[in-house]
Amino acid sequence: MYNLKKILSVIIILAFGLTGCKAADIAVDRNAEKSAIADENSISGEDGSSTYDSTRTIDQIEESDGEKVEGSLGNEDKNLDDENVTSAAELDFLDEDGYYYDVESVVLYLDTYDHLPGNYITKSEAKALGWEGGSVEDYMEGGAIGGDRFGNREGILPDNSYTECDIDTDGESSRGAKRLVFTDDGQYYYTEDHYDSFTEIIIVDGEIEYGEVYN
């Protein structure tokens, strides 16, 4: 009887030992399985964290690169715009053989070529064509009166020797009230009220600036 109890005790102890080992193995297997699933989810994006972060990082990089490219293109456009900025004196329309009527073009033409554009003729030259007053375009296509001496009888301008020409007469029926008065040494005065007042015109770095008013 004693031997039977002893045998049963041994069997029970062995049974508990085997059961504990199996449970431990099962726990290990379950932990390993959970770890594998977590790794899978991290790669596949099932938990929405790892894949999202990676995608967001790529998007941020692409967006940053895009901004850099756009910024670079913007700078190139600005540089091109700067290169295309030229003064009126450098433009092709101020060809020496061209016809010009507005005050700025005529001033820059005089400053460049030291003579009036070819569309200007003196009063005596116009009279030789039959002109008696008003617009000279009926006698010379595109013509304008200019090149005669301006006496400065009112003494509004500084003492000097002046020449005058009509301004903005292209297509007009009369000579109008606008005149440019200038000297051989590069002084320019513009009147829009037929000699009642003048505004000095100065050329700075090839650009027109308006200076002192004389009246």
The residue count of the chain comes to: 215
90 near 112, Cβ under 8 Å?
no
Q: Does domain 89-214 have CATH number 3.10.450.30?
A: yes
Most confident stretch, 39-43, 80-84, 106-110: 106-110
- Is there a catalytic annotation at residue 46? no
pLDDT at res. 15 = 56
Gap between the Cα atoms of 155 and 181, Å rounded: 13
pLDDT at res. 11 = 65
For residues 87-109, average pLDDT: 82
- Is there a catalytic annotation at residue 164? yes
pLDDT at res. 184 = 96
pLDDT at res. 55 = 46
For residues 89-95, average pLDDT: 62
pLDDT at res. 30 = 53
User: Which residues have C-beta within 8 Å of that of residue 170, sequence separation ≥ 6?
Assistant: 99, 101, 137, 142, 144
Choose between 170 and 34: higher pLDDT: 170
CB atoms within 10 A of CB 210: 11
Answer whether residue 186 shows pLDDT above 50: yes
Choose between 163 and 11: higher pLDDT: 163
Answer whether residue 58 shows pLDDT above 70: no
Answer whether residue 206 shows pLDDT above 50: yes
Amino acid of residue 92: D
Chain-centroid distance of CA 63 in Å reads: 24
Listed in sequence order, the DSSP H helices in the chain are 2-44, 50-84, 103-113, 123-128
First to last CA, the chain: 146
Per-residue model confidence as pLDDT tens digits over 115-129: 999 999 999 999 999
Catalytic residue among 164, 200, 207, 209: 164
- The 3-state secondary structure of 16-27 reads HHHHHHHHHHHH
User: Which residues have C-beta within 8 Å of that of residue 210, sequence separation ≥ 6?
Assistant: 190, 199, 200, 201, 202
pLDDT band of residue 36 (cuts 50, 70, 90) is very low
CA distances (Å), 11 to each of 15, 16, 78, 144, 189, in order? 6, 9, 93, 132, 128
Answer whether residue 171 shows pLDDT above 90: yes
Choose between 186 and 50: higher pLDDT: 186
pLDDT at res. 5 = 57
Catalytic residue among 63, 70, 194, 209: 194
Gap between the Cα atoms of 77 and 67, Å rounded: 15
pLDDT band of residue 17 (cuts 50, 70, 90) is low
To the question of pTM greater than 0.85 for the whole model, the response is: no
What one-character DSSP code corresponds to residue 89? G
